[in-house]
Amino acid sequence: MKIEFKKVSYKSSDLNYSKDNLKFEGSFHKTDYKTVKVSGSFKGSVPHVCDRCAKDFDLDFNEKIELKIVDGISEERDEDFFETIECIDSTIDFDEIIESEIESFKSDYHYCKECKEKEKENKNGST
């Protein structure tokens, strides 16, 4: 879903997204004329390749996110704990934002079940 920055309401609107086994449920609203806040949570799983044995598996993805979309260039302040996304062309592309959240989650190391078990065994065995 794409929306023009200026058309985002100060009232909260629903934001839903789903792809394969993954769902995102959340909402967004404007907090001032150049800031939009998005919050919600992922539920489900994403297909992933194990970073240890290269096997395909379903990676559980249940996480809350909160982020801030700024129209133009953000003037980052230290007390901001929200992830900030700069909106360059005054149009917010929610699909792209959500997909990049999924990608950044997947870019961490994730092991399949068997490899997780093996990791545990190795740790226990090495002491």
Q: Judged by CB under 5 A, which of 3, 65, 70, 115 binds Zn ion?
A: 115
By C-beta, is 2 or 107 nearer to Zn ion? 107
Smallest separation (angstroms) from Zn ion to the CB of 48: 10
By C-beta, is 37 or 52 nearer to Zn ion? 52
Query: Is residue 49 a contact point for Zn ion (CB under 5 A)?
Result: no
By C-beta, is 59 or 85 nearer to Zn ion? 59
Query: Is residue 52 a contact point for Zn ion (CB under 5 A)?
Result: yes
Q: What whole-number distance in Å separates Cα of residue 125 and Cα of residue 34? A: 55
- What are 79-88's contacts with CB under 8 Å, separation 24+? 82/37, 87/5, 87/36
Smallest separation (angstroms) from Zn ion to the CB of 121: 13
DSSP one-letter code for 5: G
- What contacts 109, CB < 8 A, 6 or more positions away? 51
By C-beta, is 6 or 120 nearer to Zn ion? 120
Smallest separation (angstroms) from Zn ion to the CB of 99: 24
- What contacts 115, CB < 8 A, 6 or more positions away? 50, 52, 53
Q: What whole-number distance in Å separates Cα of residue 55 and Cα of residue 62? A: 21
Query: Is residue 112 a contact point for Zn ion (CB under 5 A)?
Result: yes
- Chain contacts with Zn ion (rule: CB under 5 A): 50, 52-53, 55, 112, 115
